[in-house]
Amino acid sequence: MPPHQPHVVLGVCGGIAAYKAVDVCRRLVDVGVYVAPVLTDEATRFVGEATFSALASEPVQRSLFDEASPIPHTRLGQGADLVLVVPATAHFLARYAAGMADDLLCATLLATRAPVLVCPAMHTEMWEHPAVSDNLALLVRRGVLVVAPEEGRLAGGDSGAGRLADPDTIVARALDVLGATGSVVGPGRGDLAGRLVVVSAGGTREPLDPVRFLTNRSSGKQGHALAEAAARRGAKVTLVTASALAVSPGIDVVPVASAADMEAALRAVAPRADVIVMAAAVADFRPKAPAAHKLVKADGVPDLVLEPTPDILSGLAAERRPGQVLVGFAAETDDPIGRGRRKLAQKGVDLLVVNDVTAPGAGFDHDTNAVTILDADGGATAVPLMSKSAVADAVFDRVTAQLDPERNSP
């Protein structure tokens, strides 16, 4: 059977960044994707229909009513493997969040079960407006994927947050999403192809006796999303996890419970790893002498003596092989960036992902997260509230920039 040609509906809204959607369209077609362009009326004020019609796999469509079929939105929506919106304007996000179906693009979005990837672009004031943040947060909660805008030059000579992400980033993300749906464009694709990525996840459980343990509120969702993202991007993945969440086939899973188990499992695989991401919430203390038999009430309240656990990440950093990229996580409640910077230096890692676990929608057990990725050169990348899967991609975008392009896992 010939491989399935992935179908992308490319929605283009009316913003100055619409001209960059031309490049996204061309690049997707170049790698074998079928692209059906849908322009809003406002988009045509910025880019010509003829440009997209010439480059895409079929002519531009703009209206619910001008095709031979009276229901073009259902044909487009049902046939799509991905709906990609470049640029997503504030007006579009509001209409999509409200479930409006008053033009072909919004009607198609209601008529699809395919993943949806939106790439917002607008002036900083608009991007930071609570109405826009709220609409985007609502869409993220519904599973919509986002390629966040970057800081940079905006229309009218202004500069700030809100510039459309680079077309390279958008195309890479779209191909990753298509890969995850099974519509792989070509073998060995992905910027982590040929790499071994090791991820730790979940909260460790430190036994008090055979039936009781000390643990924390980590769900493992962010760690598992990291493992899935690395696999989507072509890596061979080992996931050392204290969480019982489901894992996609193809990911090697090493289930663990305590910090000691996790350390042993990580040390066994670390020498071969190109990238190690310590997303696990490792207990800092454990009972010094767990009881061999269940503690019983009749014996009175036990004396609980704790001892520190080994710092796994510092140990891995001390023994890392050249070129290996190490990423730590830090869940903080006070002065997250300051504490994160100190932790990055103390632990000797390349990147530290700081999580303010008190921020709404971020941290333990949520499906969304907002983080800041600190690097060893003093740089910081703010990743606003988005799905944990999108946060995972933001982390690997930073990781791939640090990987030596010549070197693969031994």
Residue 9 or 312 with smaller CB distance to ligand C5P = 312
User: Under the criterion CB under 6 A, does residue 84 sit at the interface with ligand C5P?
Assistant: no
Stretch that binds ligand C5P, among 11-19, 42-50, 248-256, 326-334 (CB under 6 A): 326-334
R_g (Cα) of the chain, nearest Å: 23
DSSP secondary structure, 274-294, as one string: SEEEE-SB--SEEESS--SS-
Among 140, 330, 392, 399, binds ligand C5P (CB under 6 A): 330
Q: Which amino acid is at 213?
A: F
User: Under the criterion CB under 6 A, does residue 178 sit at the interface with ligand C5P?
Assistant: no
From the number of C-beta atoms within 10 Å of its C-beta (0-12, 13-18, 19+), residue 20 rates as buried
Q: How far apart are CA 387 and CA 235, in angstroms?
A: 21
Binding footprint of ligand C5P, residue count (CB under 6 A): 13
User: Under the criterion CB under 6 A, does residue 399 sit at the interface with ligand C5P?
Assistant: no
User: Under the criterion CB under 6 A, does residue 309 sit at the interface with ligand C5P?
Assistant: yes
Q: State the minimum distance, in angstroms, from the CB of residue 315 to ligand C5P.
A: 8
Residue 108 or 309 with smaller CB distance to ligand C5P = 309
Which tokens in the block code for residue 157? 């000579």
Of the candidates 171, 154, 170, which has an alpha carbon nearest to the alpha carbon of residue 16? 154
Residue 166 or 311 with smaller CB distance to ligand C5P = 311
Among 39, 140, 165, 282, binds ligand C5P (CB under 6 A): 282
E-assigned strands of 81-235?
82-88, 116-120, 145-146, 150-153, 159-163, 196-201, 206-209, 212-214
Residue 56 or 330 with smaller CB distance to ligand C5P = 330
Among 119, 227, 280, 351, binds ligand C5P (CB under 6 A): 280
> Residue written as tokens 């202004």?
158
Among 202, 287, 328, 384, binds ligand C5P (CB under 6 A): 328
User: Under the criterion CB under 6 A, does residue 258 sit at the interface with ligand C5P?
Assistant: no
User: In sequence order, which residues have a C-beta less than 8 Å from that of residue 278 and are 6 or more positions away?
Assistant: 200, 312, 313, 316, 326, 327, 328, 329
* Three-state secondary-structure class, residue 234: coil
Among 119, 174, 313, 374, binds ligand C5P (CB under 6 A): 313
CA dihedral 131, 133, 138, 143 (to 10 degrees): 150
State yes or no: is 369 an active-site residue: no
Cβ contact 233:195 at 8 Å? no
CA distances from 68 to 62, 108, 267 (A): 13, 16, 62
User: Under the criterion CB under 6 A, does residue 219 sit at the interface with ligand C5P?
Assistant: no
Three-state SS string across 67-122, please? CCCCCHHHHHHHHCCEEEEEEECHHHHHHHHCCCCCCHHHHHHHCCCCCEEEEECC
Q: Which amino acid is at 173?
A: R
User: Under the criterion CB under 6 A, does residue 307 sit at the interface with ligand C5P?
Assistant: no
Options 135, 216, 355, 408, the catalytic residue:
216
Among 329, 350, 351, 386, binds ligand C5P (CB under 6 A): 329
Q: State the minimum distance, in angstroms, from the CB of residue 235 to ligand C5P.
A: 19
Q: What would the x/- binding string for ligand C5P be over residues 338 to 367, using CB under 6 A?
A: -----x------------------------
Stretch that binds ligand C5P, among 21-29, 67-75, 163-171, 304-312 (CB under 6 A): 304-312
User: Under the criterion CB under 6 A, does residue 144 sit at the interface with ligand C5P?
Assistant: no
Stretch that binds ligand C5P, among 79-87, 166-174, 230-238, 305-313 (CB under 6 A): 305-313
Q: How far apart are CA 155 and CA 16, in angstroms?
A: 7
User: Under the criterion CB under 6 A, does residue 172 sit at the interface with ligand C5P?
Assistant: no
DSSP class of 241: E
User: Under the criterion CB under 6 A, does residue 317 sit at the interface with ligand C5P?
Assistant: no
Residues forming contacts to ligand C5P in the complex (CB under 6 A) are 259, 278, 280, 282, 284, 309, 311-313, 328-330, 343
- The residues annotated with a catalytic role in the active site are 216
